[in-house]
Structure 1
Amino acid sequence: MLSLPDFSRDLHARFAADRYLPLPGLVRPGSLPALSAIAGWGAVRVCDPLERHVINSLHQQGDTHGGHTDDYPPALVLFTEAPDDPADGGLLEHVPHAGLGALTTGAVRSAHHRPGDGYLLRSDVCAHRVTPLRRSGLRRTVLNFAYTTPDRQAAITPSAPEPY
């Protein structure tokens, strides 16, 4: 998805001199439509600026992101920081096609991610949470990009899970 230039001494020298380096085409325009194809319906960015981009940062022992579903489908989540060891917490826990009550059942799936990883989640009909960080000195920081369908720009919390 990101198109970073290859390292060169010229780029390094330019950045060292100017303390600025433009990165044109960093996100390739054609890379995001794959979200629509994977999801099976036309995905567009959420119009609400407070919901469109969210930074979630856990930075103290015990920090968590509690169980919830989101207003918009789907969420594209990119990791900038994450614990190296799954035993340190910060794991995504999710239950497909389920509400919050399912997070207390044996149906919970967990996933460990590293910096640079990402995931796509149908976050409106998939209960999810993040497990607590288990010790000090750990960080889990993600960038969450919310998408929706053209007919769902208004926040809607479904009463029952929708089929994919």
Structure 2
Amino acid sequence: MEHRKRLYWVIFLGLAGVIAIIPEYFFTEESASMPVQTRADFSPQEQGQLATLRSGQKSVSMRKQEGSIRREKQAVETSTDLFAPHSWYVAPPRVPVAVVPVYSPPPRRPVAPPLPFRFIGKLDDSQKMLVFLQRGEEVHVVSVGDVIDGTYRVDGVTDDRMTLVYLPLQATQSLNVGSKL
């Protein structure tokens, strides 16, 4: 088995060497046999163009030729760009839009929050009426003119209604305080 592997490698390397040497023999002879052009082989018109090129001056016809060559190169470059973005999308025509004034309703007037108090009872003293109100765990005993927590003021107490003013908005609210006894 080992003998076969060595044989294959020797054949492979031998063929690779032969393939590497073949171009040296065949292609060097052809390049040596190719004729080399000299100045004498050029026509008088071509010698004139070469002379103007060597001197650095360009004739009008040379400038026109260079411009046409540049244009052809640009045309070839743009037409052969394989990765240029292409799209089949056609934008819809623009439709003029009429400007309609936006009507916004006037802002709503702020409203006082619902009363946080619950009526517990009242006491009619000969001097003034006392009303017992509950908010959460707190019990407030109020009469006309009192201010509760800096937000509500008691404006009046009748037999069945109590009038409170929400101080931040000066909004009047009423609370049912039972009926006439």
TM-score by length of 2: 0.17
Determine which structure has greater relative contact order: mean sequence separation of CA pairs < 8 Å that are 6+ residues apart, divided by chain length: 1
User: Structure 1 length as normaliser, TM-score?
Assistant: 0.18
